[in-house]
Structure 1
Amino acid sequence: MILDIYKDSLEYSAKDWKTLVKLGVIALFSILLIPIFLVAGYNYRVVNTAVHGVINGRDPLPEFDNITGMFVDGGKVLIVEVLYSLVPIIVFLLFIVIANALTGILASAIMVIGALITFLLAVASCIMSQMGICHMAHNEGEFSKAFRIKELKEVIDDIGWLKCIITYIGLIIITMVISAVVNTIIYGIFAAFGFSGFMLGADAGAIFILGGIINILVTLFIVGPYLSIFNARSIGLLYATQI
């Protein structure tokens, strides 16, 4: 099942390169903050399509329409993610305060325990936030559904906590592997060109710089958006397995 989710999402994300470029252009201006909401809003549309779809279905990529609605959806997504992330942060800060009031081995022990508890909470918060976003999408965008802890626990219990964790680990590995492979290929090509140019007396430094620029552009306009859609689709399909 998990492999089917990955396969579907990898194929789905490559359906339209023009969509990837559009996302890349939006992400390029993320320093202005507003585009961040649009990227998050588009990924929410991907999730919404997935939670109402099926694995290996014929779901189309979402359209870039109703920008205002996409911005609002992105804001809701970011609020959900921030609020859930505050839980492990606040807990860790509390352990720091307690540890600072102690000394020696006891303080160190408190920090170790705090770090462990924070890590477990971070994993749980990550899963809860992503399933919360999916639950919100499944319930017609009702914001409060992202925080219905009892309902979310039932969803995750149906899917299986271990299955969720394994799926997330797989997403991290696939994301890192694809990024590394693309970077290696691009740098490998330009390293070969640079070496050949050096042997012929050309400016190898300029070729390497060009390779770096090409790598940044490919990552920004193709690989980054592709992986963004891939992850959003995978999470949505994972949620849909319990419906």
Structure 2
Amino acid sequence: MHFTNMVEDSFAYAKGAVVGEWMRWVLLVVSTIIFPLIMGYVVRIYSGKEPAPELEDWGSLFIDGIKLFIIGLIYSIPVILVFLLFMGGSIALFSTGSNAAAAAGLGSMLLGIVLMIVVSIVISLIAAIGMIRFARKDSLGEAFNVSAILAHIGKIGWGSYIAALIVLWLIGIVFAVIVSILGIIPVIGWLIALFLYPAFIIFQARYMVTIYESAPAPA
């Protein structure tokens, strides 16, 4: 897996989607504000469309975005359950007023945070491929076909897959820093940031597609 090529390909894809396509860029900004629309656009990217697709068939775009949102929400349920279980127990212990119970509550809270992080990471590894499977197969069920998802990740290679996601995570940090700096600039700063968001979302989506397609095709 050549990470430099993947980043360059994703950047070129995002650039082609917005640079020189000013009306599309403005519509993408609007879609980012009405978030199901940009999520629906991500579904179209996940489906493998090249070059970046036009913004059309808005009803279908909105529905696909809602479906992608629901998939993400369902995948977040285990994390929410861990949070409720440990945080609820911690609050109950704190409320007793006992120092020993408070210490136990603090321990429970820290354990809950660690478990939430672990569960979140595991779930995100599966969900990322599941969402692309949903777009490729046009089936909500395929988003939760865990055996097929794990098999696909196995073809990519777990080490390569995780390393590729770390690269994306680092790029995301750089983007967040840039946006934070722009936020300091009155008026024009947040406007520039607003226009950068859809470009970065497209970059992320395309990058995930390159990861997905890095799995060897069946013989």
> Structure 1: how far apart are the matches of 2:208 and 2:190?
27
Equivalent residue letter for 1:13: A
Taking a change above 3 Å as real, the CA distance of residues 105 and 157 of structure 1, as seen in their structure-2 partners, is farther
Give the TM-score normalised by structure 1.
0.75
- The answer for the alignment partner of 2:162 in structure 1 is 165
After TM superposition, give the deviation of residue 227 of structure 1 in Å.
0.4
- The answer for the alignment partner of 1:75 in structure 2 is 66
1:241 maps to 2:205: no
> Structure 1: how far apart are the matches of 2:26 and 2:168?
22
Equivalent residue letter for 2:125: I
- The answer for the alignment partner of 1:13 in structure 2 is 14
> Structure 1: how far apart are the matches of 2:4 and 2:203?
13
Equivalent residue letter for 1:146: A
After TM superposition, give the deviation of residue 147 of structure 1 in Å.
0.8
The answer on whether the counterparts of 2:48 and 2:136 sit within 8 Å (CA) in structure 1 is no
- The answer for the alignment partner of 2:202 in structure 1 is 229
Equivalent residue letter for 1:238: I
After TM superposition, give the deviation of residue 173 of structure 1 in Å.
2.0
After TM superposition, give the deviation of residue 42 of structure 1 in Å.
0.5
1:150-198 superposed Cα distances (whole Å, 9 cap, x missing partner)? 11121222223333333223223213324534765x68xxxxxxxxxxx
Alignment of 1:11-90 (within 5 A): 11-15=12-16, 16-17=18-19, 18=21, 19-27=24-32, 30=33, 35-49=34-48, 59-90=50-81
112, 122, 129: which one pairs with 2:127?
A: 129
> Structure 2: how far apart are the matches of 1:161 and 1:98?
35
SS at match of 2:187: helix
What is the total number of aligned residue pairs between the two structures? 204
Q: List alignment gaps of at least 5 residues for structure 2.
A: 94-100
1:115 maps to 2:120: no
Equivalent residue letter for 1:235: M
Taking a change above 3 Å as real, the CA distance of residues 179 and 100 of structure 1, as seen in their structure-2 partners, is closer
Q: List alignment gaps of at least 5 residues for structure 1.
A: 51-58, 188-207
Q: CA RMSD in A?
A: 2.3
- The answer for the alignment partner of 2:4 in structure 1 is 3
> Structure 2: how far apart are the matches of 1:94 and 1:162?
32
- The answer for the alignment partner of 1:195 in structure 2 is none
The answer on whether the counterparts of 1:48 and 1:134 sit within 8 Å (CA) in structure 2 is yes
1:96 maps to 2:87: yes
Kindly indicate whether structure 1 or structure 2 has the higher relative contact order, using CA contacts under 8 Å at least 6 residues apart. 1
Deviates more, 1:76-85 or 1:113-122: 113-122
Deviates more, 1:168-177 or 1:38-47: 168-177
Give the TM-score normalised by structure 2.
0.82
> Structure 2: how far apart are the matches of 1:20 and 1:179?
20
Larger radius of gyration: 1
> Structure 2: how far apart are the matches of 1:241 and 1:26?
29
Equivalent residue letter for 2:46: V
Taking a change above 3 Å as real, the CA distance of residues 183 and 91 of structure 1, as seen in their structure-2 partners, is closer
